């Protein structure tokens, strides 16, 4: 009897998802999980519960199919780099449901710019889209994301790494589907130049590279990367509860020591301030033999260094004579569903398909992107990948990127000044005070 009640309520949920149109705040008030709690399903034996959940999910999908009589039109956005793979996955999705006629249009939109495009006209958004996790607070506040109040083919919260689920959650509610867990940075290096022991200390790496007549690159005039030094030394940068302004203690006790350390590191001329594209060129040309970068640059490094291609966590750096482990930002790419979709149920089903275990495996195999899915991450293929392994090692020292927009420009200016040797001789405390004033300024 309990199983029938569960299936009935889930059917209502799916039909509501399919029929609800613009401005739908939730697919259904009664999700499978909520229904389980209110029908005493938790008292059933574990194996019976698992069987019931499998049956209920199958029933929900079957009922969605049965209730679909017209062509299901969906608009999907994926990054330019993900177009080929997404096209393949969309075809597989159609093949999975041969009794349904689909009209799925694939457009190009970078995960990094998805929020800005969507918030310009929330109702005109794609039905299903990829975006970077640091955009989620603003998108939820704007009503641009459908809450994941029901799952139909796999358990999103339990199948993916806890950090990725946390990144997809706002105020205790899940609003997106984890797609990758590799939007962070670490150290690539040429092992013919550096030993593994060398890479434990940035000062040692500079010494070794200098002896070899080579360079180490880091985009320190980018706030995303300069954060590694200040956070590593225990200084705070965080997003306030209003979701737009920042708290920053970089000008507090010890801040000038960190700034001086950055000056000292770059004064060698071996550690150079270099953006991603220029790093790629310098690696290929052989002038850069180590760099702070992410998984997207793995292929470049591997092609240049061949058998000597290696990667590891970020090194330590000295602050007032004490070694400090460099921190980093961790980040995830997520898939969201528009609450304004005319086919919310199918949009959610597609979002699940694009992020399920098979799709995350395909994404790793095709593009080398780190999976959020726990089972995929535990595979031998993923564990043997140098870049993904380095990212995993750095994860212990990484924090999610949650920062207001006023952070980026002041941090960029600070990085430029320190990397260029503080050419105006500005007092470091004054420099940091000015930086923090900009970072914490009210949003106009």
CATH classification of the domain holding 393: 3.40.190.10
Least trusted range by pLDDT, from 46-55, 154-163, 192-201, 308-317: 46-55
Percent of the chain residues topping a pLDDT of 70: 87
Q: How many domains does the chain contain in total?
A: 2
Residue 257, classified by CB atoms within 10 Å of its CB into exposed (0-12), middle (13-18) or buried (19+), is middle
**104-138 pLDDT, tens digit each:** 999 999 998 999 999 999 999 999 999 999 999 88
- pLDDT for 290: 99
**51-100 pLDDT, tens digit each:** 344 556 678 899 899 999 999 999 999 999 999 999 999 999 999 999 99
The answer on 204 and 164 residing in a single domain is no
Evaluate whether residue 312 is within a structural domain.
Answer: yes
The answer on 260 and 149 residing in a single domain is no
Arithmetic mean of pLDDT, 142-167: 94
Please check the confidence at residue 35 and state whether its pLDDT lies above 60.
Answer: no
- What single string gives the DSSP state of each residue in 29-92? SS-HHHHHHHTTGGGS-HHHHHHHHHHHHHHHHHHHHHH--S-EEEEEEE-GGGHHHHHHHHHH
Final residue in a domain of this structure, among 371, 400, 423: 371
**218-228 pLDDT, tens digit each:** 999 999 999 99
Q: Is 177 helix (H, G, I), strand (E, B) or coil?
A: strand
Q: Are 278 and 218 in contact (CB under 8 A)?
A: no
Arithmetic mean of pLDDT, 287-292: 99
The answer on 59 and 199 residing in a single domain is no
Evaluate whether residue 79 is within a structural domain.
Answer: yes
The answer on 298 and 210 residing in a single domain is yes
Establish how many alpha carbons lie within 13 A of residue 214's alpha carbon, considering only the half-sphere containing its beta carbon. Answer: 24
- pLDDT for 57: 67
CA distances from 441 to 105, 166, 351, 433, 437 (A): 42, 28, 37, 12, 6
The answer on 269 and 222 residing in a single domain is yes
Q: Are 271 and 263 in contact (CB under 8 A)?
A: no
The answer on 210 and 168 residing in a single domain is no
The answer on 301 and 152 residing in a single domain is no
Q: Which of 404, 387, 402 is nearest to 332 (CA)?
A: 402
> Domain containing 410: what range?
186-330+389-439
Instruction: Tell me phi and psi for residue 171, to 5 degrees.
Output: 50, 40
Evaluate whether residue 381 is within a structural domain.
Answer: no
Evaluate whether residue 364 is within a structural domain.
Answer: yes
- pLDDT for 150: 87
Least trusted range by pLDDT, from 266-280, 315-329, 373-387: 373-387
The answer on 146 and 60 residing in a single domain is yes
Two structure tokens written together for 8: 């009935």
d(CA 272, CA 209): 12
Arithmetic mean of pLDDT, 226-246: 95
């Amino acid at each position: 009897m309990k199983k029938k009640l569960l299936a009935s309520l889930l059917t209502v949920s799916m039909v509501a998802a399919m029929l609800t149109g613009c401005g739908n705040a939730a697919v259904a008030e009664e999700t499978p999980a909520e229904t389980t709690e209110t029908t005493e399903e938790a008292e059933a034996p574990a194996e019976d519960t698992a069987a019931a959940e499998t049956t209920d999910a199958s029933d929900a999908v079957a009922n969605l199919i049965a209730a679909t009589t017209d062509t299901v039109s969906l608009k999907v956005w994926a990054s330019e780099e993900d177009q080929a793979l997404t096209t393949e996955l969309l075809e597989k999705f159609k093949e999975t449901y041969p009794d349904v006629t689909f009209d799925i249009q694939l457009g190009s939109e970078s995960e990094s710019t998805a929020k800005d495009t969507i918030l310009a006209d929330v109702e005109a958004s794609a039905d299903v889209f990829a975006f970077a996790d640091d955009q989620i607070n603003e998108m939820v506040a704007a009503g641009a994301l459908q809450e994941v109040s029901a799952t139909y083919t796999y358990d999103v919260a339990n199948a993916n790494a806890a950090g990725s689920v946390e990144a997809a959650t706002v105020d205790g509610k899940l609003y997106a589907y984890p797609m990758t867990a590799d939007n962070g940075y670490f150290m690539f290096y040429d092992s013919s130049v550096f030993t593994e022991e060398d890479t434990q200390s940035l000062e040692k790496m500079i010494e070794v590279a200098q002896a070899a007549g080579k360079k180490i690159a880091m985009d320190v005039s980018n706030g995303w990367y300069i954060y590694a030094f200040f956070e590593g030394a225990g200084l705070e940068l965080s997003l306030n509860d209003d979701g737009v302004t920042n708290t920053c203690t970089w000008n507090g006790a010890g801040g000038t020591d960190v700034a001086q350390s950055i000056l000292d590191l770059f004064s060698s001329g071996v550690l150079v301030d270099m953006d991603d594209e220029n790093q790629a060129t310098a690696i290929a040309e052989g002038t850069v033999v180590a760099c702070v970068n992410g998984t997207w640059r793995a292929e470049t490094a591997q092609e240049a260094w061949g058998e000597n291609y290696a990667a590891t966590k970020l090194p330590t750096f000295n602050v007032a004579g004490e070694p400090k482990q460099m921190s980093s930002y961790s980040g995830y790419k997520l898939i969201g569903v528009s609450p304004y979709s005319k086919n919310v149920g199918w949009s959610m089903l597609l979002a699940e398909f694009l992020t399920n275990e098979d799709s995350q495996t395909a994404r790793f195999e095709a593009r080398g992107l780190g999976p959020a899915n726990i089972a995929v991450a535990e595979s031998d293929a993923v564990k043997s990948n140098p870049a993904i392994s380095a990212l995993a090692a750095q994860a212990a020292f990484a924090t999610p990127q949650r920062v207001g927009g006023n952070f980026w420009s002041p941090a960029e200016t600070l990085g430029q000044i320190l990397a260029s040797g503080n050419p105006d001789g500005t007092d470091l405390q004054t420099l940091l005070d000015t930086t923090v004033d900009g970072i914490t300024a009210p949003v106009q």
